[in-house]
Structures are given as C-alpha cells and as structure tokens.
Structure 1
C-alpha cells in the first residue's frame, strides 16, 4: 500500500520535473538511476531514500523542503492528495507557459485573469 507522504513527494518530483521541462530519462541520467525508478518514485510505488532525494533536489535546483510543501502534519488520505492542482498536467503546462512570457506581459495577463475571475 502506498503511503500518502510517498505519493506527495512523488507528485512534487513530477511537478518540478515538468516545470523545468525535464524528462524522466534526463532526471534519471543526472542522478545515476534508471528512468523506471523515477516512474516508481513519481507514483509513490517506491519510497525515495534521503540520499536520493538530496540528489534529485540538487539536480532540480530546489531545497529538500520543496518536496514536502503542502503536506499537512495531520492524516491526509490518498484522495485528498489526488485532488492537488499540481497533479494536473494541463495546469502545470499552463504554469510553465505563463512563466515563459516576458514579465511585463505576464503581469498584464495576470491582471486580466484576475478581473475575469472576479467577474465570473
């Protein structure tokens, strides 16, 4: 049975990998493992050891704490973790595209989105 923390950490690995445009193979090559192992980490099937998480964080240029952000100290169920917006590939692609826009234009787009959401 998957532990909710392992599932959360795996989703955060996948989230960061998508955000920086890295494939599972590229991440695996950089940390010295097979891409199938990355798949198992990302689904929570395998638990990530502390030293491996250190290597992954270093490769993806985030602090170790990144992988635990949004994790409650209370008991969370798999369903609550599954509902995480960052688990949605479309949302992640939208975020990546958003940050690819030059800052001045991105700010105007943000303001427009805020006005539209307030009007809805």
Structure 2
C-alpha cells in the first residue's frame, strides 16, 4: 500500500492526472487507482515505467523505514554509527549519495558469508 501512496503523492505533486499517467504507461485510469489504493501490487517493471513518467527513481516510490535482510530488521542507526566510527571517510562519501541509491544498496545487501 505504501508504494501506491508514494505514487499518488508524487503524481499529485507533479499535477499529473490518473488519466494522463495511465495513458503514458498504457493502462486504464482504473488500474492506476488500484495501484494507488493498494488493491493491486505494482510489478517491478511497471514501477520503473511509472517512475520514468513521474521523473524519479523507482526506489523513490518504495516505502521508507527499516529494511529487512534475511528476516532480521537491521538497526540502521546502530549500523550508521558503527560505519562512521570505523570508516569516517566512507561514511561521508555515502552521505552524498542520493537516498534512492542508498535504499537500493541496503535492499540488495546480503548476510555475511562464513569463511
């Protein structure tokens, strides 16, 4: 449901109607309504198409908050503090990245491999 709400918020901010968005991605406005209400899930490819029309990264339409990796919710604040202590230069460089890139990095993070 959060993805749909983010689509609606971005669409409204840009003053794009549901009809105009639907026409641009080749759907009916009813389908866009269903996406925005959370009645239907948005596929990754459709999310990409929508993001192009809404002039943003697909990651900008994903929900914000804690990310789960292997079923465990990461304590991002604790991780950020540890990263800053151990690698202050890397931490400063990452702060310059767009949020959508950081969320993608966190979403693709894998659990440490045992050696």
Bigger radius of gyration among the two: 2
Aligned length: 69
Q: Which runs of 5+ in 1 are unaligned?
A: 1-6, 75-120
Residue 24, structure 1, aligned to residue 18, structure 2: yes
Deviations 1:15-56 (A, max 9, x none): 000000000000000000000000000010000011111100
Aligned partner of 1:44 in structure 2 is: 38
What are the within-5 Å matches in structure 2 for residues 1-120 of structure 1? Answer: 7-73=1-67
Q: Which runs of 5+ in 2 are unaligned?
A: 69-115
Structure with the bigger percentage of helix: 1
Shift of the 26–12 alpha-carbon distance from structure 1 to 2, 3 Å rule, reads same
Q: Taking structure 1 as the reference length, what is the TM-score of the superposition? A: 0.54
Q: Taking structure 2 as the reference length, what is the TM-score of the superposition? A: 0.56
